[in-house]
Structure formats: C-alpha cells, structure tokens
A and B are shown apart, each in its own frame.
Chain A
C-alpha cells in the first residue's frame, strides 16, 4: 500500500513522531481515507515506532476515528436525549428509506454511511445531523429529503 505509506509519512513529517502526534495523524488519515484501516494503523505504528495495539486503542476510543470502511459522506445523527425527544427516530427512518440502508451501513455505491452519534452540542436546534463536517439542524422529513437529494445529485 504505497499510498498509505506516503500519506502516513507526510502526516508524520507534518505533526511529528512523538506520542502526542498520534491523534493529529489519525485525524489526517480520516480526512483523506474516511477510515483507518489496519494497514494504515500498522504504518502509523511503524512510523512512530510504537505498539500497534496502542494505535488501535486510540483509534477505537474516539467515535469519529472510524476503523471500518465508510462512504464518501458519513451521516451521523445525534442519538442523545434532546434530539430523541425532538423526533430523531423519524429522521432516521426517513434517512433509511432514502438511502436504502440501516443505521451502521454504507450504501452500495459507497457514497453514504449512516451512523448514530452522541451529543453534537446542538440541543437547542435538534434534531441534528452531521454530514462529514457539516452540521444540519432543526431537521424535518422535507429538509432531510432536500439535503440528501442535493448530495445525491450534486456531490
């Protein structure tokens, strides 16, 4: 996997090779690859001369550091109590219907992954979801259809 090797080397050159560089390097891999494969983790461990189990431990600790393949757009619906009360269940149903996947799954064309996440800090504007780094608030069925339709067509 020469690309991963180069990516990790580049990130290590940029962030350093100490233990505290681990997190920015893992975030860098997520930005490029959407997930951190075992090959990528091995490469990080090699580049930073640290245990691979430690890299794995760090990656699995943070929910936004995915260790399984994800689609181009990762949709994360807030599952916490306020969004739940404001109707996140219905939003999930709408998303599942639109994307034809269940929570935790990726669409066949690898474009979308649907996930739940803990509180995103938008409780006053719930229900809320993230698509990659973009937050979408005060969601309704119509709004969700519009947003997803736009992603399907234009992105």
Chain B
C-alpha cells in the first residue's frame, strides 16, 4: 500500500500518492493548471513558471509541476496573485516571441497562443524585443525547421533529445538574456547528430520546431494533369489521423483515410502495409540466411544479431553513434522505400505508366521519413523513389483544406495492386510489431506450423516497457531448415533511442546475446512517431497501440507470407526473397556519419 498525502486545493480535499506533485493532485480534482515546460514524457524542469499556485504559509508562489504534494498543504490555484503572476509570465514570454501567429505553421495549434487567448492578452505590456534579438531560422534540414524567434526556451526539446532519444543534438547555450536552444556550434540541424526523429517537434509547445511541410508540393502534383500521383500510407497513420480531425485517440480510420485520399485527388491510393509484408519476406529470409551462415557455416563476415532497418531515425542514430554495427543492420530498405522503388518499376509496368510521370507521395507518422526519401541511396528505380514524404499532421491539414467532414466520410478500401495487406503489416506501427510479424512468418516457414502463441498474438514482444526480450525454441523443423533444430532464437525489442542505446551498450559489452533485435526510433514505435498528432503522451500512445492490435485482430489474413499480392509480386516480378531483383530494388547500404 503506497503512502498517501492529504491536501486541500481550492477548498477541496484530495488524497494522492506520496511523490505526486501539486499539479497531479489538481488533475485528480479536474482543476486545470496551465503549463508550458511541463510534459508527461519528460522530467520536470519548472522553468516557465506558468503553472504557479499559491501555497498558504509559503512566501513565494510555487511551481505546481515541481512541488511535491505534502500532508496538510493548502493550495489556491486561482487567486488574484496567481492570475497576475501567470499573466506576467505569458506577457514576458510574448515580449521575446515572434507572435506573428498568422504566418506561423502552428497557428491554432500552439500552447502559448492558447494561453494568451485564455488570458485575453490584447496588447503589449512589455517592450517587444523581437526586432532587436537577431534570431536565426534554420531551414536546411529536409525534416525539421528550427525557428528561434518562436522559441520560449522551455527546453522540452532539449529534454526530449537527451532523455527519450539519447541524442542531445539540441542543448542550451549561453546564459541569461542570451540563452538559446542550440546545436553544436549553432550548426544547422542537418549537419549535426540529429536523427530527424521529430520527437522535439511533437513536444514543442510553439512553432519553434516544426516539420518541413510539403503540403503545397503535394497539391501541385495533384493538380498537374500530366502527373500520376501515387500515395502510400504507413501502418501507424490510420490509427492516429482522426485525432487531428476531431476524433478521439485510438480510433481506427483506415477506411475514411482511404476515402479522403481519393477525394483529395490522388490517382492511386495504395498501402505501405503491402511493403511491410514484403519487408517481412525479405527480412525474415535474411535473418534465416544470416543465422545459417553465422551458426552453421561459422562465417565470421556475417554479423549477428541482425537489427531491423525500418525506422529511419534509428538508422541515422546507429550511423552516427554505432557505425561499427552498420553490418548488423538488415540490408532491407524500410517499407516506405521498398514501396517507392516498386511504385516506379513494378506498379508502373503493371499499370502501363511512364515512371517519369509518377509522383510518389508517402503519408508517414514520421519526420525522419522525409530525410530518408531524400537519401541519395534511395534512387534504385532510376528516379527518386519517394518524391514527397508528409506526416500524419500534414495530411490532416490537407483534408481540412479540402473542406471534408472527415468523420462522415464512408469507409473505402485501397486500390489494387500494392494495396493488400495483413495484420502482420499493421502491427509494424507499434513497438514489437515487426518482431511479431517476422516471427509469425519465419517460424511457420521453418516449421510448417503456426507460432505457438494463442491466436497468433506474441504477447511477450508487446507492451510499452523500454526493452523487452523473448526467445522461441526452434523444434520440429522442416528438413531443409534442420540445421537450426534446437536453436533458441533470442530476440529483443527496444523503442525510443535511449532504450536503443541501452541495448547497444549491452551488446557492445557482450552482456546480451541476441539473434534478432527490433529497434524503433520513437517511444511506442511509429504510433508515437514525431509526425503524429500533437499531443502525444503515454496514455495516447497506449490507446493508439491498442487500436493497432485491434486492427490486426480484425484482419482476414494475419501473416505476411499469406498476402496474395505478395505472392503475386514474387511470381511476376521479384522472383524470390533476396533474389537478384530484390537486391537491386529492395536492399540498401548504410553510411558512417560523424559521432559529434
């Protein structure tokens, strides 16, 4: 039984677990205290002071996010003093903030703007310092724009980058009125160790960190009669898009999304889930081949454990921080890039389209996908494989621009071909999903039997714990795989790059002995991606993950190798997994990047 403390907030008694803050206690009572620097995913900073409350007996106002609830405390959240103080805090922040809201990408989606509106701040109480501040704006990254003139120095991004991601591309530089959020030597974001994961973008309360949006370019492509615009949608967008369009977290909107894309004017509405299934075929085969070479042939040039390669944030992380392990990465391109390479080859051939006239657009829960699409390695179709990558949020903007009532849209399906998918592909969107999908297929390939888990749900790899391990004993194998008989396949799953760092250190020190490791760059996997609707919190991630698994359970086919379109593409085009054509189009290599 945990200790509880009793306190009184605005005259109402409340008991909370010891260690909870005054802010938590107020939440219990449904009393809303405004916050800016506070975020549920991050450690308490207590630097913005917007959440101040009055504590009886205390000389100064206290920051409720940082003040532990104590026995007998009497708190007032709405006194004259409190309201004045909060107002001055916001006014002072505004005096250094480029409040040209109509020209801001975050207009109407900004926590500072919300507060200013709530407090009815109509005029400048303090001198506007923006004109003399000489702020910089970094627009060089293909993924993220950093505009210091909109920054309120709450340091959510700094905490995100270090606590959640172990990257620390962003830090705090200088002090006092010169203090700013800065990369190393104020270099552009694209030139530092940033992984483009966009977790900072997802947590920035203002417009200081935003994704580089390609909304106009997508519209231009759609309006260009000469172009055939293909769109693919990632597994995790279909369970989050609704949140930006007035719906609750955890609602599955696959059908409405397909309908909206068709109405926006995309010529082919296809599904990244198709190439997620294909990834399983390629990556599963690669894993088994690696295991044979490493365990049976004792070929030391083959590296085990094999790491998944679907998450471009994770790829850039390992390229910067663990380049000695690049050989361990699966050579499989991510589903987005497999899709891109096939759209301008296989799809174009089948549909009689001129690949030079195809514009390939992807809808992703991710900002790093923008960078990935622009990588010079990703042009195996003879063209840039994916032309434009946009986030779930950008798609929501387009749907609003087009005047659609999203909730009332009918449920439609994807076009064929490259629109069919399985439950295994959908769960790519949640941490552990790629592992589960791979095990469903690989186990059956080598044993001829389904994975020994009830209803195909490999629960040990599911959940939100940072690092999870699971092992499966390989027994009763088909004759051609008998060399793996008795092997205990050891796997691990990590999400969020801080957990990835932890797993990498364990592997480096020889403390962990895995065969196959899934890493997703963002907490929760793609469902918590940097391009997903804002806010993203632990609770919202949980709801989105539940939706993903619901979608999986509801699918007719739940194993990648049973996807009929996957069978078809191998028969008509690719030949076999890891075959010549696959190598040409679906596999890639990685680049060592500077560590600092």
The answer to whether A binds B is yes
Name A's B-contacting residues (CB within 8 A): 38, 41-42, 45-46, 50-57, 60-61
In whole angstroms, how far apart are the Cα atoms of A107 and B173 in the complex? 27
A53 cross-chain contacts in B, Cβ below 8 A: 168-171, 173, 182-184, 192
- State A46–B595 Cα separation when bound (angstroms): 8
Top 10 closest pairs, chain A to chain B, by CB: A51-B168, A53-B171, A52-B184, A52-B596, A57-B171, A45-B596, A60-B173, A53-B184, A42-B596, A60-B174
Q: List, in ascending order, chain A residues with CB within 8 A of B173's CB.
A: 53, 56-57, 60-61
Contact of A51 among B171, B174, B185 (CB under 8 A): B171
Q: Which residue from B167, B175, B182, B193 sits with its C-beta under 8 Å from A56?
A: B182
Given A51-B162, A51-B168: A56 in contact with B595 (beta carbons within 8 A): no
Q: Does B172 contact A (CB under 8 A)?
A: yes
Q: For window 159-200 of chain B, which residues contact chain A by CB distance below 8 Å? A: 162, 167-175, 182-185, 192-193
Which B residues lie within 8 Å of A42 (CB)? 184, 596
Contact A51 B175 (CB under 8 A): no
CB closest chain-A residue, reference B162: A51
The answer to whether A51 touches B167, judged by C-beta atoms less than 8 angstroms apart, is: yes
Residue of B nearest to A59 (CB): B173
Q: What is the distance, in angstroms, from B93's C-beta to the closest C-beta of chain A?
A: 21
B504 CB to nearest A CB, Å: 13
> Which of A41, A51, A54, A61 has the largest number of chain B CB atoms within 10 A?
A51
Interface centre among A38, A50, A53, A60 (most CB of B within 10 A): A53
CB distance from A39 to the nearest CB of B (A): 10
Distance to closest chain B CB from A22 (angstroms): 12
Q: How far is the CA of A57 from the CA of B170 in the complex (A)?
A: 9
Q: A54-B171, A56-B173 are in contact. List 5 more A-B contacts (CB 8 A).
A: A51-B162, A52-B185, A53-B173, A56-B185, A61-B175
CA distance A91 to B114 in the complex (A): 51
A41, A45, A56 pick with most chain B CB within 10 angstroms: A56
Q: Which chain B residues numbered 183 to 221 have a C-beta less than 8 Å away from chain A?
A: 183-185, 192-193
Is A41's CB under 8 angstroms from B185's CB? yes
Complex formed: what's the CA distance from A29 to B328 in Å? 38
Q: Is the interface of B mostly helix, strand, loop or mixed?
A: loop
A54-B175 in contact (CB<8A): no
With a cutoff of 8 Å between Cβ atoms, the chain B residues found around residue A60 in the complex are 173-175, 182
Contact, CB under 8 Å: B184 / A46: no
Taking CB atoms and an 8 Å cut-off, the chain B residues in 521-562 that contact chain A are: none
Q: Is the beta-carbon distance between B169 and A51 smaller than 8 angstroms?
A: yes
Measured between alpha carbons, how far is A61 from B172 in the docked complex, in Å? Answer: 9
> Is B596 a contact of A56 with CB atoms below 8 Å?
no
Shortest distance between the CB of A71 and any CB in chain B (Å): 21
Complex alpha-carbon distance, A52 and B171, angstroms? 9
Measured CB to CB, the nearest residue on chain A to B174 is: A60
Enumerate chain B residues within 8 angstroms of A41, measured Cβ to Cβ: 184-185
CB distance from A98 to the nearest CB of B (A): 29
What are 11 inter-chain pairs, A to B, with CB distance below 8 A? A41-B184, A45-B184, A46-B595, A51-B167, A51-B184, A52-B596, A53-B171, A55-B184, A56-B185, A57-B171, A60-B173
The CA-CA distance from A41 to B183 in the complex, in Å, is 13
Contacting pair A57 B185 (CB below 8 A): no
CA distance A46 to B320 in the complex (A): 12
Question: A54 to B168, alpha carbons, bound, how many Å?
Answer: 7
Q: Chain A residues near B184 (CB, 8 Å)?
A: 38, 41-42, 45, 51-53, 55-56
Measured between C-beta atoms, what is the minimum distance from A46 to chain B in Å?
6
Given A41-B184, A52-B193, CB of A57 within 8 Å of CB of B172 = yes
Chain B proximity of A100: nearest CB distance (Å): 28
Name the A residues within 8 Å of B169 (CB-CB).
51, 53
Q: Is the CB of B185 within 8 A of A38?
A: yes
Shortest Cβ distance from B167 into A: residue: A51
Assembled-state Cα–Cα distance A138/B184 (Å): 40
Q: Which residues of B contact A55 (CB under 8 A)?
A: 184
- Out of A38, A46, A51, A57, name the residue touching B193 (CB < 8 Å): A51
> Are A61's CB and B174's CB within 8 A?
yes
How many Å lie between the Cα of A45 and that of B185 in the bound state?
Answer: 13
CA distance A90 to B103 in the complex (A): 47
Complex Cα–Cα for A61 and B162 (A): 19
Measured between beta carbons, the chain B residues less than 8 angstroms from A61 are 172-175
In the complex, chain B residues whose CB is within 8 Å of the CB of A46: 595-596
Bound CA span A73–B394, Å: 55
Complex Cα gap A41–B169 (Å): 14
- The complex places the Cα of A41 from the Cα of B192 at a distance, in Å, of 14
- In the complex, chain B residues whose CB is within 8 Å of the CB of A54: 168, 171
- Chain A residues with CB below 8 A from B162, complex form: 51
Interchain CA distance A53-B596 in the complex, whole Å: 8
Q: How far is the CB of B566 from chain A (nearest CB, A)?
A: 42
B596 surroundings in chain A (CB, below 8 A) = 42, 45-46, 51-52
Q: Which residues of A sit under 8 angstroms from B185, Cβ to Cβ?
A: 38, 41, 52, 56
State the CA gap A115–B183 with chains docked (Å). 26
Provide the bound-state CA to CA distance between A54 and B182, in Å: 9
Smallest beta-carbon distance A25→chain B, Å: 15
* Bound CA span A50–B193, Å: 12
CB-CB under 8 A from A56, the residues of chain B are 171, 173, 182, 184-185
A50 contact set on B, CB distance < 8 A: 168
Flag if A57 contacts B182 (CB, 8 Å). Answer: yes
Interface centre among A50, A52, A61 (most CB of B within 10 A): A52
Shortest CB-to-CB span from A132 to chain B, Å, is 23
| Closest CB in chain B relative to A23 CB, distance in Å | 14
| Set of chain A residues within 8 Å of B192, measured between Cβ atoms | 52-53
Residue among B170, B172, B185 with the highest chain A CB neighbour number at 10 A: B185
Residue on A nearest B184 in the bound complex, by CB: A52
Nearest A residue to B172 via CB reads A57
Whole-angstrom distance between the alpha carbons of A42 and B170 in the complex? 15
How far is it, in angstroms, between the C-alpha of A60 and the C-alpha of B168 when the chains are bound?
A: 16
CB closest residue in chain B, given A62: B175
